[in-house]
Structure 1
Amino acid sequence: MRLESGREWIVGEPIGEGGFGAVYAARDADGSPAAVKLIPKRPGAERELLFTKLDGVRNVVPILDNGEHEDHWVLVMPRAEKSLRAHLQQHGTLPLAEAVRVLTDIAESLTDLDGQVVHRDLKPENVLLLDGRWCLADFGIARYAEAATAQQTYKFAGTLAYMAPERWKNDRATSASDIYALGVLAYELLEATTPFTGPYEHDYRDQHLHGTPPPLTTAPALLAALITECLYRAPQGRPAAGNVLERLSRIPTASLSGGLAALAEANRAEAARRAEADRQASAEATEAERRRDLLEAARTSLSLISEQLLTTITNIVSTAQVRMGNQGGWTVRLANAQLTFTGVKETDPSVWNTGRTQPFDVIAHAVIRLKIPPNSIGYEGRSHSLWYADAKTTEQYQWFETAFFKPQSSVMSAMDPFALNPHYEARDALGPRPLTHQAAWPFTPLAIGELDEFIDRWANWLAMAASGKLGLPSNMPERDPQGSWRKA
């Protein structure tokens, strides 16, 4: 195989896999050993060739030659002694002094790369021992830090145990993402395991975004504090590579004692406290994003439900008066009856999710209300609650219809049954010992394509109301609500 340099390379047996291709033992015409990486010519694979020259960067496996051969891109590198992964498999955890040396070599490389190139796949498999130094290899999914996003970005390529929280949010990887991966690797050197262990992709995502790394059991306080800071969820809170390198140089190989030990421990505790505050802030931000997305889904789905009901009524009742309201709501008047469908309102989690146990989560709510002039006993109609919630199954949200009543009230409600917004009265009505309020109607799912019963029922009630036949229900609850929502 002859490449751009004109040198001839003889390719031997396979010795490993890289990010985008297979690695083979090789030698040149003089018998000097090397490693050849053959990268299939598929979209994005040529990006490794962007990094054949990283001049002035310490501890990076150099590219001796490159070019093309048949349907492959080719990179030729010096033959390394072994990978850090193989070293860990052989020795398990590393002594403190050796772990610091490994981390120092990698930090030197990241310091030189800072602001220029983001590796994006830092892990023990991509750290190789070459000429007595631990060097970064496999820039297959790396990118220049300021480069525009290419068609083939491989944004989610990488190894799950080492991927920074911002990568799971589909945000752009930066040098801080490599620092996070370095923190994971450092944890692994000392504990023989990564801080988060999955095992499945959704587990890793939840752990990186919400979990707390188990405490380091062997690291001295100064190193434990540094690793903790590298694992901060907020990229801006992580130390820069140069700071990591400088602090590694101050890690003592012998145990501190006296006041210095106490001071180091205080620093470790403060780093842990900040990590917990960072975790809580990240969790709150992630929860806010989740609720925003669910609220948007709630608005979209309820608008379809509302539109289908309104269209059905107006197609049949040519004499109906329609008035559109706020946020997609509307009112239909037929004779003396008035049917109102309100727009979506966001549920305040601080009202529903208080210190007392709530049975399920509610994202948004609305009301459907049928009103008539008060009859001889003061009855004015009925209203039902519409809640967008995971009332049946955890984390499965949809719209539900329900209603409430007062079982022991001496004063009749003008509306019976009636709607309640998600707050303490409704929460108590759904609790194990309901007092002033109870559910009058089962939590009934409202799904597009399955609204016939819902539409027919409200159309019938509207017809009864318009003809003066709508009266107070004879029994409460009207339908048995038990078992229609999940208990806390």
Structure 2
Amino acid sequence: MTRFVGLTGKTWTYDERQNIGRGGGGVVFAGSYEDGAPVAVKKVNLSDAGLEAQRRRDREIEIGDLIAASHAAEALKHVLVPLDHAVVDDVLLIVMPIAEGSLAKAIQEDTLDEGSRIGVLLQVAQGLEELHSLGILHRDLKADNVLQVDERWLLADFGISRDTAQKTATYTLSAFGTAPYVAPELWEFQSASVKSDLYALGVLAYQVLTGQCPFRGPENSDYRRQHLTEAPADLGDQAPTSVAPLIYRLLQKDPARRPRDARAVVEALRSRTGPLTPAQQRLATRAQQAEARRLQVEAKVPQSAPQREDFQQQAYAELSLVLEEAENIARPIIPELTAGASFDERNFWLLVPGGRLEFEGWSLDSASTQPLISAGAVYLHKIAALNIRDPHANILCEKEPEGRLSWHIVQFEASPYIPYYSKGPRDRAHGLSREQFIADRYEILRADSNSWTMTKQKLNSDVILELLGDLISL
């Protein structure tokens, strides 16, 4: 048994021989309070975590603290309230009430009888209502994150949740949920909202009633197409006629067509749990048919493959997230740091006293970029010399075999064996102008040239922080 003291001053123990599950990037063990009361302890090894994972866990602690602080006043009944947490060496320990099981397991083992399924969905909707009333978006609602505790169903795992009072997406930059549950607008890199949580609730409701999610991928590119352009299979007689129209509304592609908030869903479910009169049954059947037709009409015609413009939009949205993450890391060190973007969000910059780090995206025709998705240049400017356009490096976005888009930063250096070199300065690493980049694109993609050598690395927040350091040192 391992013993530790939490931030509340209470003493807890857990047994690493009793693994009872996984969640939020950690392993959950059976544990107990000092009086012997059983608890669950989630253990997360921070030493192996990358920056994004570390921030996710920090966020889980922050949201957990916010929920715990609100627990007494709000009387939360359907949100799992963390009991305590501690950081011991490089290990984060989160103490939680012991759960009897997850909704995912109940669905898989088909232990929910027909009469209880609507009640389960009502409790999940109540949990969302409670969470939203605190100004928190869950952002990863799924069957695995709904746990049964003392015969109640509670929302859990707040690793990528967001406090809507925050003005930035700190700690939640690239994570936006689990693919089968992700709302259409999030696939287009719009901001998460109450409506995107409601869409996930619709997916969960469909799953509870049918045993399967409405969209089944299997790859992320398949999920994106399905959520954006396809209608789910008709519920038929797998859902009560009184509830099916509500589920269809939750699954609308357009957020504006979904219910206004979780409270509206709670009220709708409460009003539809009793038996229907024959007239109500006929009306409910027509409502179900109308909502199903609306979903079919709203779904766009799938294209055989995403267009280059779609990939470019996705690429620059991802680049923006990487820059925002770097900005959030750097600001405590450089309080004067400011950021900006062009109207079309293809050019981005970070300003520090006396200097400017600029990322310039290029508009290139498809012939000149194949097989690239996009490219651009990086500039390090002293404020007194903003008119000098000598690229410090280049950026390029490529589509990886599994369909993901990946940004890299590249620099070139003159080969010492070539007497004449016109690509840039011979005495240092540099980037290429747009015209030179296009002219040399095939050699760049193959890293094949006898006039220069090229270095290439993945563009992430650490690289951007190095660039800021280079700028400050100019």
Length-normalised TM-score, structure 2: 0.59
User: Structure 1 residue 251 and structure 2 residue 254: aligned?
Assistant: no
**Displacement of 1:288:** 11
User: Structure 1 residue 50 and structure 2 residue 71: aligned?
Assistant: no
Counterpart AA for 2:272: I
| Alpha-carbon distance between aligned partners in 2 of 1:4 and 1:69, rounded to the nearest angstrom | 11
Alignment of 1:132-171 (within 5 A): 132-171=151-190
User: Structure 1 residue 277 and structure 2 residue 280: aligned?
Assistant: no
Deviation per CA, 1:338-357, whole angstroms, max 9, x where unpaired?
xxxxxxxxxxxxxxxxxxxx
User: Structure 1 residue 109 and structure 2 residue 127: aligned?
Assistant: yes
| Alpha-carbon distance between aligned partners in 1 of 2:9 and 2:35, rounded to the nearest angstrom | 14
> Cα–Cα, structure 1 residues 220 and 15, in superposed 2: closer, same or farther, change >3 Å?
same
The residue that corresponds to 1:479 in the other structure is none
**Displacement of 1:106:** 0.9
Name the larger-Rg structure: 1
Alignment of 1:317-332 (within 5 A): none
| Alpha-carbon distance between aligned partners in 2 of 1:302 and 1:10, rounded to the nearest angstrom | 60
User: Structure 1 residue 29 and structure 2 residue 29: aligned?
Assistant: no
Contact 2:179 2:223 in 1 (8 A): yes
* Alignment RMSD: 3.1
> Cα–Cα, structure 1 residues 289 and 114, in superposed 2: closer, same or farther, change >3 Å?
farther
**Displacement of 1:185:** 0.7
Equivalent residues, number? 305
User: Structure 1 residue 82 and structure 2 residue 88: aligned?
Assistant: no
Deviation per CA, 1:28-81, whole angstroms, max 9, x where unpaired?
221110011123334302111112242213311111112211112221111111
| Alpha-carbon distance between aligned partners in 2 of 1:123 and 1:244, rounded to the nearest angstrom | 17
> Cα–Cα, structure 1 residues 265 and 448, in superposed 2: closer, same or farther, change >3 Å?
farther
Deviation per CA, 1:238-277, whole angstroms, max 9, x where unpaired?
11211110010122454x3532211111211222233233
| Alpha-carbon distance between aligned partners in 2 of 1:450 and 1:157, rounded to the nearest angstrom | 34
| Alpha-carbon distance between aligned partners in 2 of 1:187 and 1:243, rounded to the nearest angstrom | 18
Contact 1:155 1:167 in 2 (8 A): no
The residue that corresponds to 1:220 in the other structure is 240
Classify the secondary structure of the residue corresponding to 1:91: coil
Classify the secondary structure of the residue corresponding to 1:11: strand
Counterpart AA for 2:44: I
Counterpart AA for 1:142: S
Contact 1:105 1:135 in 2 (8 A): yes
Classify the secondary structure of the residue corresponding to 1:22: strand
Classify the secondary structure of the residue corresponding to 2:299: helix
Contact 1:233 1:282 in 2 (8 A): no
User: Structure 1 residue 204 and structure 2 residue 223: aligned?
Assistant: yes
Contact 1:145 1:175 in 2 (8 A): no
Q: After alignment, is 75-84 or 244-253 more displaced?
A: 244-253
Task: Note the residue ranges of structure 1 that are not aligned, 5 or more in a row.
Answer: 306-446, 452-488
Task: Note the residue ranges of structure 2 that are not aligned, 5 or more in a row.
Answer: 315-345, 347-360, 370-437, 443-474
Contact 1:184 1:194 in 2 (8 A): yes
> Cα–Cα, structure 1 residues 25 and 225, in superposed 2: closer, same or farther, change >3 Å?
same
Aligned residue among 47, 60, 73 for 2:79: 60
| Alpha-carbon distance between aligned partners in 2 of 1:62 and 1:180, rounded to the nearest angstrom | 24
**Identity level (%):** 35
Counterpart AA for 1:95: D
**Displacement of 1:219:** 1.0
Aligned residue among 16, 20, 41 for 1:15: 20
Classify the secondary structure of the residue corresponding to 2:242: helix
